[in-house]
Amino acid sequence: MTFKNTREFAQQLDSNDEIKNYRDKFIFPQHNGKNVIYFTGNSLGLQPKSAKKYVDDVMNDWANLAVEGHFYAEKPWWDYHERFANPLSKIVGAKPSEITVMNTLTVNLHLLMVSFYRPTAKRYKIICEEKAFPSDQYMFQTQVNFHGYKAENTIVEIKRREGEHNIRLEDIIAKINEVGDELALVLIGGVNYYTGQVFDMKAITEAGHKAGAMVGFDLAHAAGNIELQLHDWDIDFAAWCSYKYMNSGPGNASGCFIHEKHHTNKELARFGGWWAQNKEHRFKMEAGFDPIIGADGWQVSNLPILSLAPYLASIEIFAEVGMEKLIKKRNQLTAYLEFILHEIDNEIDGTEFEIITPNKQEERGCQLSVFLHGQGRSLFEYLMKNGVITDWREPNVIRLAPAPFYCNYEDMYEFGQILKKGLLN
């Protein structure tokens, strides 16, 4: 398709958008009486209009039923989390039995590492990507310290080549092969939070397994954004937050994937709790841990129902639309944003935008990270003051994530006009 930098063209794209009506299912912050242009769905998704009702339903059940809400609410609390297994399995490419929802992201990664990071005298190293999200870095450091190792001798970062913004797949594979028999775990972000690069998880998993290591992924910026086939890719485990592309609310519950090949392995260490206990015996309060067969067998505590309620509201919208339609719009919407950025860059002398996100469609989701040569934080502040909610990352990067549920093509055009004024200001 040949794009045009006109409002009429953007409006025509919107009129042909098969999921355009879903924009109306979300609440936008307002700027001068108009919806903001919202580019931070990669940090916190907009609130679904249905979320409040789902929370109110729980509050009303609590008021009217009190403790009996566990069993007699319209959506009983004791199995509330089970409603996520089927729709989430479709979002991440898994079997329902491989999915659970619990805790928050870094807590879950720590708990999963109890099972999947089992260092030995020979095999103890962890491979991750350079500039992983800070929480992951701190998790690695504290995990290896807990096991009696020093981070500088245990954590192996895959570096970007000098002058390049993204990590080459061949360098990841080469590093896995180099560490070889010393490698215990590969744990990488499926989408790098800073550049928006999507890693080839299938190839990385194959290489990690060939080296004899476990392989997991932090899918914080991947779940609800890109196509995932966690089961078929034979990934051992993964976890993701729900408040970015899946619009569940600030700091909300995390999803987990544990491949079914591990479900019946009773030798696999884990930290237990009563909500992982065999459901048939859970309320008998018997001694002896007998975990559920499946991902639910990794749960610890009973679930925070008030947190799960808005997540369920959003997940049911995903179930209506499906990832195929979301990804189709995401690809075109992101391409149009890329076109607009290049158009503005060409129109104004003395500016240069370097999009550091890969330009290959299979290597990116809906995030474009833009390095501003010759510009500073003042441009970001101008955008924010003029109704464009975006994200700043040091040293000089603006992250733009046009989430397909609620961003539209006219937003992209209007952003270009505001950006142009900011550059000329």
CATH number for 177: 3.40.640.10
Q: How confident is the model at residue 153 (pLDDT cuts 50, 70, 90)?
A: very high
One domain for residues 346 and 215: no
DSSP bridge partners of 177 = none
How many Å apart are CA 71 and CA 102, to the nearest integer?
Answer: 19
Q: What is the pLDDT of residues 116-149, one digit of tens each?
A: 999 999 999 999 999 888 999 999 999 999 999 9
Does 350 score more than 70 pLDDT?
no
Structural domain includes residue 32: yes
Structural domain includes residue 1: no
Q: What is the pLDDT of residues 160-213, one digit of tens each?
A: 999 999 999 999 999 999 999 999 999 999 999 999 999 999 999 999 999 999
Share of the chain above pLDDT 70, in %: 99
One domain for residues 114 and 212: yes
One domain for residues 391 and 250: no
Find all residues with CB under 8 Å of 228, minimum gap 6, and list them: 91, 92, 93, 190, 201, 219, 222
How many Å apart are CA 406 and CA 318, to the nearest integer?
Answer: 12
In contact, 253 and 103? CB cutoff 8 Å: yes
Does 351 score more than 70 pLDDT?
no
Rounded mean pLDDT of 261-269?
93
Q: How confident is the model at residue 373 (pLDDT cuts 50, 70, 90)?
A: confident
Structural domain includes residue 146: yes
Does 267 score more than 90 pLDDT?
no
One domain for residues 84 and 191: yes
Among 269, 296, 321, the domain-final residue is 321
In contact, 333 and 405? CB cutoff 8 Å: no
Element (H, E) at 370: strand 368-373
One domain for residues 120 and 159: yes
One domain for residues 261 and 369: no
One domain for residues 154 and 229: yes
Q: What is the pLDDT of residues 41-80, one digit of tens each?
A: 999 999 999 999 999 999 999 999 999 999 999 999 999 9
In contact, 371 and 356? CB cutoff 8 Å: yes
Among 293, 321, 349, the domain-final residue is 321
Q: How confident is the model at residue 378 (pLDDT cuts 50, 70, 90)?
A: confident
Structural domain includes residue 348: yes
DSSP annotation of 242 reads S
The mean predicted confidence, pLDDT, of the chain is: 95
Q: How confident is the model at residue 424 (pLDDT cuts 50, 70, 90)?
A: confident
Share of the chain above pLDDT 90, in %: 87
Among 321, 345, 360, the domain-final residue is 321
Query: Among 262, 282, 289, 233, which Cα is nearest to 100's?
Result: 262
Structural domain includes residue 317: yes
DSSP symbols for 163-221: T-SS--HHHHHHHHHHHGGGEEEEEEESB-TTT-BBP-HHHHHHHHHHTT-EEEEE-TT
One domain for residues 100 and 199: yes
Structural domain includes residue 2: no
Structural domain includes residue 279: yes
Burial of 202 (0-12, 13-18, 19+ CB in 10 A): middle
Query: Among 140, 107, 119, 163, which Cα is nearest to 304's?
Result: 107
Instruction: Tell me the three state secondary structure of residue 4.
Output: coil
| Domain boundaries, position 313 | 54-321
Does 326 score more than 80 pLDDT?
yes
One domain for residues 282 and 328: no
Structural domain includes residue 311: yes
One domain for residues 109 and 254: yes
One domain for residues 326 and 314: no
How many Å apart are CA 399 and CA 401, to the nearest integer?
Answer: 7
Q: How many domains does the chain contain in total? A: 2
Q: What is the pLDDT of residues 226-247, one digit of tens each?
A: 999 999 999 999 999 999 999 9
One domain for residues 412 and 276: no
Q: What is the pLDDT of residues 11-41, one digit of tens each?
A: 999 999 999 999 999 999 999 999 999 999 9
Q: What is the CATH number of the domain that holds 404?
A: 3.90.1150.10
How many Å apart are CA 235 and CA 173, to the nearest integer?
Answer: 16
How many Å apart are CA 305 and CA 141, to the nearest integer?
Answer: 32
Rounded mean pLDDT of 97-115?
97
